[in-house]
């Protein structure tokens, strides 16, 4: 029934073969009525002196009868096929309606008996049609539910709504189609715990980084250089998001191989700079990779936070990244994660060229590209804040550069802390995550660091400053056991 306010009405056609069989029909009819199906049965509706043939004809042809249940045993089959008695009359009346296809969901056969070869006793007019098998009493409850759902038009299995054609099929040039096969193999192997998953992940990441290189800037296709950079970013982005999906699987199913993720970030970082043997280049050649490496790293931190794997977070933020920048002079060969926080010059130039009245176009692009995704943009902002704290509160042996939390312009008017810090009212929880990420900083040093950050970022975003104290929940941090 399409309208839930309409009570379904069913007529039961059966043979009076034995008293036990009649009682079986009575029992199922009674239960259907109790479960919301209005059942018409000769034992209830046909009184002494009534015309049984007229009753049968009326029940089968009555437009208010939405369901006809045909209870099939050997007696019913024989009478229906030979057109004998009341069953024969009913068969004659209902067969045309059955074959008319005007109401294909009006009739159901309930098989209660089979022959010695396991063949159902169904009349000839039901040949080839699906039936509900009540022949095994052990399965009665399952079959009854099947029948009730059919009467109520509430099937257990419902066909899903027709979706759209996947973008990797409809728009292969805009999606990570070139790496899809290797991605699926690696992802499936990780989820299934296959022994070859490590090798498959490496093969996928190798291909992924090669695909990044293929989508460099094509200046000849565009009038303005920044348009070419944006186009390159948009081509690489589906691949970078696919990278996030494999990262989730590694975090969940094989965290021992998280070093492959760190290595992939390192390789992305190398794409941000020209190689030593490059003799001719344009600075904006590397801008798409600066943006992608930045966004990928932010998403990685957000994903790890979402999975509460603070051990992995400590590992990725403390790693000494070998980026192998050219012209590094006497500087160290390795650097901190802050190397990924590049200021993309061509995006800033785009802001000036188009006279965009925006605080930070790079932050806008991160927000627009990560809404309604996993991780959420809110989690990315939290990740940005954690990276800010790690970079400015902790010093290490590697060379630390500044980390500018550009996405936090969207948190400037927030009057509530990020979830990680809201939960850190618990001293135990604060120690759990701060130990690997902030090197076990004391709560006193943490609060001092937040004050210093607010001073450092007094002019931030729209010049209202960075509300670090609120975002870090400083007033209530470690206020509970």
Hey, what are 335's tokens? 């650097």
Confidence of residue 99 (pLDDT cuts 50, 70, 90): low
8 A C-beta contact, residue 331 and residue 398 = no
8 A C-beta contact, residue 168 and residue 180 = yes
**What's the pLDDT at 173?**
44
Listed residue (341, 477, 475, 363) closest to 420, CA to CA:
477
User: What's the CA angle centered on 445, arms 441 and 448, to 5 degrees?
Assistant: 145
Confidence of residue 400 (pLDDT cuts 50, 70, 90): very low
Pick from 50-54, 166-170, 303-307, 443-447: least confident: 166-170
**pLDDT of 415 above 90:** no
Q: Which residue has the higher pLDDT, 263 or 44?
A: 263
| Percent residues over pLDDT 90 in the chain | 63
Confidence of residue 1 (pLDDT cuts 50, 70, 90): very low
**pLDDT of 306 above 90:** yes
Grouping H, G, I as helix, E, B as strand and the rest as coil, residue 38 is strand
Mean pLDDT of 401-407: 86
Mean pLDDT of 431-453: 94
Q: Which CATH class is domain 9-152?
A: alpha beta
**What's the pLDDT at 309?**
97
Confidence of residue 48 (pLDDT cuts 50, 70, 90): low
Distance in angstroms (rounded) separating the CA atoms of residues 175 and 167? 7
Q: What are the C-alpha distances in Å from 282 to residues 219, 237, 268, 273, 352?
A: 10, 22, 18, 11, 20
Between the two ends of the chain, the Cα-to-Cα distance in Å is 57
Listed residue (40, 252, 46, 24) closest to 144, CA to CA:
24
Distance in angstroms (rounded) separating the CA atoms of residues 405 and 341? 9
**What's the pLDDT at 429?**
97
Distance in angstroms (rounded) separating the CA atoms of residues 407 and 33? 61
Confidence of residue 104 (pLDDT cuts 50, 70, 90): low
Mean pLDDT of 361-383: 92
Q: Which residue has the higher pLDDT, 45 or 320?
A: 320
Phi, psi of 151 (to 5 degrees): -60, -35
Q: What is the pLDDT of residues 2-21, one digit of tens each?
A: 445 578 999 998 999 899 99
| Percent residues over pLDDT 70 in the chain | 88
Distance in angstroms (rounded) separating the CA atoms of residues 168 and 161? 20
Mean pLDDT of 219-245: 93
Confidence of residue 287 (pLDDT cuts 50, 70, 90): very high
- CA torsion 122→125→126→127, rounded to 10°? 90
Grouping H, G, I as helix, E, B as strand and the rest as coil, residue 216 is coil
Chain-centroid distance, C-alpha 124: 48
Listed residue (439, 437, 440, 441) closest to 314, CA to CA:
437
Mean pLDDT of 239-262: 96
Counting every residue written for the chain, the total comes to 481
Contacting residues for 79 by C-beta, under 8 A, at least 6 apart? 15, 85, 87, 88, 91
Mean pLDDT of 62-86: 88
Q: Which residue has the higher pLDDT, 399 or 475?
A: 475
**What's the pLDDT at 465?**
84
**pLDDT of 398 above 50:** no
**What's the pLDDT at 328?**
57
Mean pLDDT of 194-203: 96
**What's the pLDDT at 334?**
87
Mean pLDDT of 124-145: 91
Hey, what are 375's tokens? 């991780």
Confidence of residue 226 (pLDDT cuts 50, 70, 90): very high
Task: Work out the burial of residue 119: count CB atoms within 10 Å of its CB; fewer than 13 is exposed, 13-18 middle, 19 or more buried.
Answer: exposed
**What's the pLDDT at 463?**
67
Task: Give residue for tokens 């009245």.
Answer: 357
Residue 336: left (phi > 0), alpha (psi -120 to 50), or beta? beta
User: What's the CA angle centered on 466, arms 481 and 340, to 5 degrees?
Assistant: 95
Pick from 47-51, 152-156, 251-255: least confident: 47-51
**What's the pLDDT at 110?**
96
Hey, what are 421's tokens? 């810090």
What residue segments make up the domains of the chain, in order of their start?
9-152, 174-392, 412-481
Contacting residues for 33 by C-beta, under 8 A, at least 6 apart? 39
**What's the pLDDT at 151?**
93
Phi, psi of 372 (to 5 degrees): 60, 35
**pLDDT of 444 above 80:** yes
Give exposure, 132-141, as e/b (b: 16+ Cβ within 10 Å).
bbbbeeeeee
Concatenated DSSP letters for 339-357? Answer: GG----HHHHHHHHHTT--
**What's the pLDDT at 28?**
95
Q: Where are the beta strands (DSSP E) in 256-328?
A: 321-322
**Mean pLDDT for all residues in the chain:** 87
The sign of the CA dihedral 205, 308, 412, 370 is positive
């Amino acid at each position: 029934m399409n309208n839930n306010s309409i009570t379904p009405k069913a007529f039961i056609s059966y043979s009076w073969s034995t008293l036990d069989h009649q009682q079986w029909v009575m029992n199922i009819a009674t239960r259907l009525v109790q479960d919301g199906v209005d059942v018409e049965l000769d034992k209830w509706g046909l009184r002494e002196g009534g015309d049984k043939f007229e009753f049968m004809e009326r029940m089968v042809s009555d437009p208010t009868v939405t369901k006809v249940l045909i209870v099939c045993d050997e007696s019913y089959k024989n009478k229906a096929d030979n057109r004998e008695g009341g069953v024969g009359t009913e068969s004659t009346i209902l067969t045309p309606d059955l074959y008319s296809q005007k109401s294909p969901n009006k009739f159901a056969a309930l098989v209660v008996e089979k022959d010695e070869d396991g063949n159902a006793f169904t009349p000839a007019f039901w040949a080839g049609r699906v039936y509900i098998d009540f022949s095994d009493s052990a399965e009665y409850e399952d079959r009854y539910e099947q029948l009730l759902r059919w009467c109520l038009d509430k099937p257990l299995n419902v066909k899903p709504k027709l979706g759209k054609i996947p973008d990797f099929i409809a728009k292969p040039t805009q999606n990570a189609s070139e790496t899809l096969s290797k991605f699926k193999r690696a992802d499936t192997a990780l989820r299934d715990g296959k022994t070859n998953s490590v090798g498959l992940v490496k093969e996928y990441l190798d291909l992924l980084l090669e695909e990044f290189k293929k989508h460099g800037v094509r200046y000849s296709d565009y009038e303005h250089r920044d348009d070419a950079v944006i186009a390159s970013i948009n081509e690489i982005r589906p691949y970078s998001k696919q990278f996030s999906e494999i990262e989730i699987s590694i975090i969940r199913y094989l965290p021992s191989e998280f070093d492959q993720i760190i290595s992939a970030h390192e390789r992305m970082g190398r794409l941000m700079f020209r190689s030593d043997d490059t003799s001719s280049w344009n600075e904006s050649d590397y801008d798409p990779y600066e943006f992608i490496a930045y966004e990928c790293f932010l998403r990685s931190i957000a994903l790890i936070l979402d999975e509460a794997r603070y051990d992995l977070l400590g590992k990725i933020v403390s790693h000494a990244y070998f980026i192998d920048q050219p012209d590094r002079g006497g500087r160290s060969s390795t650097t901190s994660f802050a190397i990924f926080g590049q200021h993309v010059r061509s995006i800033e130039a785009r802001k000036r060229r188009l006279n965009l009245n925006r605080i930070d176009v790079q932050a806008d692009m991160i927000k627009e590209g990560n809404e309604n995704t996993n991780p959420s943009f809110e989690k990315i902002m939290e990740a940005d804040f954690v990276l800010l704290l790690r970079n400015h509160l902790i010093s290490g042996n590697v060379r630390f550069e500044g980390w500018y939390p550009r996405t936090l312009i969207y948190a400037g008017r927030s009057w509530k802390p990020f979830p990680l810090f809201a939960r850190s009212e618990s001293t135990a929880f604060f120690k759990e995550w701060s130990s690997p990420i902030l090197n076990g900083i004391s709560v006193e040093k943490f609060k001092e660091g937040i004050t210093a950050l607010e001073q450092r970022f007094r002019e931030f975003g729209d010049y209202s400053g960075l509300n670090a104290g609120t975002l870090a929940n400083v007033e209530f941090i470690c206020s509970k056991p």
